[in-house]
Amino acid sequence: MIREAKPADEAAVVPILFQAMHEVACRLAGTSEEAVLGPLFGHFFRTPGNQYSYENTLVYEDDKGIGGIIVGYDGGRLAELRAPVFAHIEAQLGHSYQPGDETGPGEFYLDSIAVSPASQGKGIGRQLIYAAEDRARTEGHTRTGLLVSDENPDAQRLYERLGYVVEAVVTFSGGHYLHLVKTL
């Protein structure tokens, strides 16, 4: 079943979130130390009003626990949702990093999508994307967007099968990505 995340989901969600964004998280925080990253992103997850908050997260949960997550929000709110992330990292770690903008006004942005290794191959990622698209429609959006690494053709093919099309090639957080969009 797919449901809205709760702060209490932190211990299950954060490791799955890292599957989708570990490299970006390391650059953002200026460290690859798990002892720093885990608590840092746990803080973001349980704190309202930022891009990695439980408020922006849907989880797939079955009798074995949480097996997948998707983080999505109004791309027009990126600066507002990012500001507390950047401020907290700078205050706690003394690190400042500007990865560039991965989204903007006019789309509901699917920031991070990940399924735990034990739950992969069961269509959970597809279900999470459909649920996020439903949330986007409910909020009045007519388009969703996401980034996929140009080094991940399998994910690109999945998104294309779901109706996403390449809109642009972008540089984000030091890597090259395809910006895919879908009209809802």
- Residue 122 is given by DSSP the state S
pLDDT at 8: 98
State the sign of the Cα–Cα–Cα–Cα dihedral 88, 47, 74, 37: positive
Share of residues in the chain with pLDDT > 70 (%)? 100
Which pLDDT belongs to residue 17?
96
d(CA 142, CA 121): 29
Residue 5 has pLDDT above 90, yes or no: yes
DSSP single-letter state for residue 74: E
Q: Say if residues 78 and 51 touch (Cβ distance below 8 Å).
A: yes
The predicted pLDDT at position 153 comes to: 93
How does residue 125 score in pLDDT terms, banded at 50, 70 and 90? very high
**Which residue is associated with the tokens 């191959």?**
121
pLDDT band at 90 (very low <50, low <70, confident <90, very high): very high
Over the Cα atoms of the chain, what is R_g? 15
Name the band, by pLDDT with cuts 50, 70 and 90, for residue 64: very high
Over the chain, what is the mean pLDDT? 95
Residue 130 φ then ψ, to 5°:
-60, -40
Task: Report pLDDT for 172.
Answer: 83
* Extents of the domains making up the chain: 2-141
Predicted confidence (pLDDT) at residue 163 exceeds the cutoff of 90:
yes
- This prediction's pTM: 0.95
Closest of 43, 51, 138, 139 to residue 99, by C-alpha: 51
Lowest mean pLDDT among 2-16, 122-136, 164-178: 164-178
Q: What is residue 179's DSSP assignment? A: E
| Secondary structure letter of residue 84 according to DSSP | H
Rounded mean pLDDT of 133-150?
A: 97
CATH 3.40.630.30 fits 2-141, yes or no: yes
Mean pLDDT of 85-114: 94
